[in-house]
């Protein structure tokens, strides 16, 4: 061993044999291993179905007792729109878990463009670890949630993880995600005949008043039952701001005159992370509407919204793992600037 601490960053959705090889290599090189679990507190979807706690259980179950005390798990939130915020969080958490003078090794596998983060930590030594075989978490999840036989999706999983996922298949959460996966497959199939890969344009309204933000509970898939901003697809015959106001009224019944809403727009921003939606490439134009302080207007869910309600800003992070797609980050963008 030549390093005090090894760092391994990943989502591990799920933890497979390739990941197990990375863990083994890291523990050969260092006394301790910090496993940073990405996508912490994301609402469960077909890309991030398992919570940080569930993923830690998977990994620990796959390792012998003799290694348990040498491993520490650290949850890590996503920052789709700021590499610097993500980098700062990684640096802060590693610094808090190490001592001054510790020799740190970053361990990883360069598989595709998503591995670019391995270049972002020049202060640490780095080791690129080759992985035998062609193992992809995406393929495992697709087989798992499409109901394929266990021998197909379990082939590249450690036995303990196989057992955990077999039990998970009997839960209500699995059924919800399997239906979500079927919806997304159908959605993509419908658009697969388009001459070019489609890019969709949507709008979202961030309406803030008296320390509250207006949100809805989604009635439809994807994300049925999750908390979201009022919004939807832009019609071809309308301006972006008009589409935002239309969707706001349709989904919440907010009875504030249109001139007042237009005059209360305090900012706008385009959110275009390529992976922000599991459906396809979806670019959304979000607007901050800052209403004057006072009693909160009555709202009611309609159209694609099962329910509309005012959420205290302090409650956003308490419920962030129930928010649809990147909507917490959209809200955060505006309330941190205005």
CA pair distance 335, 337, nearest whole angstrom = 5
Q: In this structure, what is the dihedral angle of CA atoms 1, 75, 112, 323, given to the nearest 10 degrees?
A: 170
In this prediction, residue 118 carries a pLDDT of 85
What own/partner pairs with CB < 8 Å and gap ≥ 24 does 183-187 have?
A: 183/221, 183/222, 184/46, 184/222, 184/278, 184/279, 185/146, 187/222, 187/279, 187/280
- In sequence order, what DSSP letters do the residues of 202-254 get, joined into one string? EEEEEEEETTEEEEEEE-SSSSTT-EE-SEEEPPTTS-HHHHHHHHHHHHH--
- Note the pLDDT tens digit of each residue in 212-228: 999 999 999 999 999 99
**Where does the pLDDT of residue 1 fall: very low under 50, low under 70, confident under 90, or very high at 90 and above?**
low
- Note the pLDDT tens digit of each residue in 150-162: 999 999 999 999 9
- Note the pLDDT tens digit of each residue in 106-141: 999 887 676 788 888 999 999 999 887 789 999 999
Q: Which domains are delineated in the chain?
A: 3-168 (3.40.50.620), 199-335 (3.90.79.10)
Predicted model pTM: 0.93
Structural Rg of the chain based on CA atoms: 22
Tell me if 286 sits within 8 A of 271, measured CB to CB.
Answer: yes
Owner of token pair 């209403």: 291
Q: Quick one: angle between helices 52-62 and 159-168, nearest 10? A: 140
């Amino acid at each position: 061993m030549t390093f005090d601490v090894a760092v391994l960053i990943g989502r591990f959705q799920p933890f497979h044999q390739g990941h197990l090889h990375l863990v083994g290599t890291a523990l050969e090189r260092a006394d301790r291993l910090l496993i940073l679990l990405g996508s912490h507190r994301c609402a469960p979807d077909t890309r991030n179905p398992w919570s940080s706690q569930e993923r830690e259980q998977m990994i620990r179950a796959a390792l012998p007792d003799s290694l348990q005390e040498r491993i520490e798990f650290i949850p890590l939130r996503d920052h789709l729109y700021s590499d610097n915020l993500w980098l700062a969080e990684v640096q802060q958490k590693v610094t808090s878990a190490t001592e001054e003078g510790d020799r740190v090794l970053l361990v990883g596998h360069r598989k595709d463009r998503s591995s670019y983060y391995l270049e972002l930590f020049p202060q640490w030594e780095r080791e690129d670890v080759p992985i035998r075989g062609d193992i992809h978490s995406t393929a495992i999840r697709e087989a798992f949630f499409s109901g394929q036989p266990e021998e197909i999706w379990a082939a590249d999983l450690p036995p303990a993880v196989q057992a955990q996922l077999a039990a998970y298949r009997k839960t209500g959460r699995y059924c919800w995600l399997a239906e979500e996966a079927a919806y997304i497959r159908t959605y993509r199939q419908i658009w697969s005949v388009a001459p070019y890969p489609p890019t969709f344009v949507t709008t979202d309204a961030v309406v803030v008043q008296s320390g509250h933000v207006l949100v809805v509970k989604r009635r439809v898939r994807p994300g049925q039952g999750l908390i979201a901003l009022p919004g939807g697809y832009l019609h071809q015959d309308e301006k972006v701001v008009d589409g935002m106001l239309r969707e706001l009224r349709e989904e919440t019944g907010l009875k504030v005159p249109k001139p007042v809403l237009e005059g209360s727009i305090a900012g706008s921003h385009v959110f275009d992370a390529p992976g922000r939606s599991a459906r396809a490439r979806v670019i959304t134009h979000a607007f901050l509407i800052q209403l004057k302080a006072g009693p909160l207007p009555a709202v009611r869910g309609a159209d694609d919204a099962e329910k509309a309600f005012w959420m205290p800003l302090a409650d956003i992070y308490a419920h962030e793992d129930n928010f649809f797609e990147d909507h917490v980050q959209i809200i955060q963008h505006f309330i941190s600037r205005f």
